[in-house]
């Protein structure tokens, strides 16, 4: 399912839900701090509740960006750089995230063969529409659209 | 107590210029594939055969696996020097990243070493309790090539 671009040219993804096991599983492997692992400890922490690692959010946002760009005829290959990434609020257990992408022209050369660059301004939103993270990124896009991808 | 524990120190005690090597990690094909399948699926990171024909001409780690491993190495490193903070009340949080670049692909068998240097203490106070530490973080492969860099602002507890 693809949502149509909005009037101001943004592309929006479908939401995905972060349940407790997903949050704890990522954290146990990559970010084993109490506020990502243990509900009681998290209540006493800076976040006030069990919440996802910011790196988990960044990886999942990239997954949503990739899927959304592909659906709109931009065959995403890889993230090259992120000039800015801000985590503005935690994502708690069973909250949803989705991305809203604005495409911004890029003049830089891609370091990856057979790709060109595309700048992206991304808002990661929760189920209430509140922004949980923003990302200014440069992505590599395949020079030739993937066969079969909708244009 | 003879050892100087990093987290015995407060925001005020952390000097600009302090440098640490968090450690090294050798990435296996299995963990590259598993990370990508779970979090950031892309053919160049999930399918060793198809990846040979791909833009990267072989399997490469998801960029976010390289940063996630930075986080793991930092937590492990800090645990060694931390005392009495395992309940998380003194754990700060990252709030912003600047200038994150992935400069060279990380492939199965590559060993990546992560370094950290405090470069600034921006004049910001959060909820009276937290100050901000800006660090430059770099990662190098076994050939000495830089594979990743970024700056991150992390909250550190101020002296009560």
| pLDDT tens per residue across span B85-109 | 566 777 888 999 999 999 999 999 9
- Spell out a b/e string for B18-57, using b for 16 or more CB atoms within 10 Å of the CB, else e: eebebbebebeeebbbebbebbbbbbbbbbeeebeebbbe
pLDDT the model gives residue B6: 57
pLDDT the model gives residue A143: 85
* Domain range B6-28+60-157, CATH architecture: Roll (3.10)
Q: Which residue, B73, B151, B65, is CA-closest to B113?
A: B73
Q: What is the DSSP string of A56-113?
A: HHHHHHHHHHHHHHHHTT--EEEEEEEEEEEE-S--BTTEEEEEEEEEE---SPPSST
Residue A92 has pLDDT above 60, yes or no: yes
Residue A5 is assigned to a structural domain of this protein: no
Q: Which residues of A touch B86 (CB under 8 A)?
A: 34
For A101-135, write each residue's pLDDT tens digit: 999 998 889 999 899 999 999 999 999 999 999 99
Residue B5: band (very low, low, confident or very high) from pLDDT cuts 50, 70, 90: low
CB contact under 8 A, B102 and A140: no
Read off the pLDDT of each residue in B44-58 and give the average, rounded to a whole number.
Answer: 86
CB contact under 8 A, A66 and B72: no
Residue A147 is assigned to a structural domain of this protein: no
Residue A6 is assigned to a structural domain of this protein: no
Domain, as residue range, for A70:
11-142
CB contact under 8 A, B94 and A60: no
For A36-54, write each residue's pLDDT tens digit: 999 998 998 899 999 999 9
Q: Which residues of B touch A77 (CB under 8 A)?
A: 42, 44, 55
| Triad B34, B36, B37: Cα angle to 5° | 65
Of B41, B91, B100, the CB nearest to A45: B91
User: Rounded CA gap, A106 and A91, in Å?
Assistant: 31
Residue A56 is assigned to a structural domain of this protein: yes
Whole-structure pTM value:
0.91
Is the CB of A14 inside 8 Å of chain B's CB atoms? no
H/E run at residue B20: strand B19-26
Could you tell me which residues of chain B have a Cβ less than 8 Å from any Cβ in chain A?
A: 39-42, 44, 55-56, 62-64, 67-69, 71-72, 75, 86-89, 91-102, 130, 150, 155
Is the CB of A102 inside 8 Å of chain B's CB atoms? no
Backbone φ/ψ region at A64: left (φ over 0), alpha (ψ -120 to 50), beta: alpha
Task: Specify the number of domains making up chain A.
Answer: 1
User: Rounded CA gap, A137 and A59, in Å?
Assistant: 13
Q: Which residues of B touch A62 (CB under 8 A)?
A: 40, 63-64
pLDDT the model gives residue A6: 57
Please give the mean pLDDT across all residues of chain A.
90
Where exactly are the structural domains of chain B?
6-28+60-157
CB contact under 8 A, A79 and B89: no
Q: Which residues of B touch A85 (CB under 8 A)?
A: 96-97, 100
Read off the pLDDT of each residue in B75-90 and give the average, rounded to a whole number.
Answer: 71
User: Rounded CA gap, A48 and A25, in Å?
Assistant: 20
pLDDT the model gives residue B49: 86
Instruction: List phi, psi (to 5°) of B84.
Output: 65, 25
Report the Cα B3 to chain-centroid distance in Å: 24
pLDDT the model gives residue A149: 47
Please give the mean pLDDT across all residues of chain B.
89
Query: Chain A to chain B, count of Cβ pairs less than 8 Å apart?
Result: 111
Distances (CA, A) of B37 to A46, A143, B31: 31, 24, 10
Task: Check which CATH number belongs to the domain holding A131 and give it.
Answer: 3.10.129.10
- A31-35, B71-75, B79-83, range with the lowest pLDDT: B79-83
Q: What is the ipTM of this complex?
A: 0.91
């Amino acid at each position: 399912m693809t949502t149509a671009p909005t009037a101001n040219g943004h592309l929006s993804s479908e939401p995905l839900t972060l349940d407790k096991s997903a949050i704890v599983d990522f954290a146990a492997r990559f970010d084993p701090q109490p506020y990502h692992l243990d509900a009681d400890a998290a209540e006493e922490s800076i976040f006030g509740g069990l919440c996802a690692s910011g790196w988990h959010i960044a990886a999942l946002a990239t997954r949503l960006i990739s899927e959304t760009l592909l659906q709109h005829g931009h065959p995403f290959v890889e993230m090259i750089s992120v000039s800015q990434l801000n985590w503005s609020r935690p994502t708690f257990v069973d909250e949803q995230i989705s991305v809203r992408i604005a495409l911004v022209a890029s003049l830089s050369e891609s370091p990856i063969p057979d790709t060109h660059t595309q700048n992206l301004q991304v808002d990661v939103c929760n189920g209430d529409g509140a922004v949980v993270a923003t990302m200014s990124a440069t992505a590599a896009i395949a020079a030739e659209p993937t066969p079969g991808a909708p244009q | 107590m003879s050892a100087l524990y990093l987290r015995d120190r407060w925001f005020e005690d952390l000097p600009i210029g302090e440098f640490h090597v968090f450690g090294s990690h050798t990435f296996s094909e299995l963990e590259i594939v598993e990370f990508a399948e779970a979090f950031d699926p892309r053919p160049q990171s999930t399918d060793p055969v198809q990846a040979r024909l791909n833009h990267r001409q072989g399997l490469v780690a998801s960029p976010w696996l390289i940063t996630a491993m930075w986080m793991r190495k930092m937590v492990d490193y800090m645990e060694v020097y931390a005392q009495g903070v395992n309940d998380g009340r003194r754990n700060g949080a990252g709030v912003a990243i600047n200038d994150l670049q992935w400069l060279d692909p990380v492939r199965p068998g590559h060993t990546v070493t992560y370094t950290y240097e405090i470069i600034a203490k921006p004049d910001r106070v959060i909820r009276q309790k937290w100050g901000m530490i800006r660090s430059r973080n770099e990662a190098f492969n076994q050939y000495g090539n830089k594979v990743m860099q970024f700056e991150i602002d992390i909250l550190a507890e101020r002296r009560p």
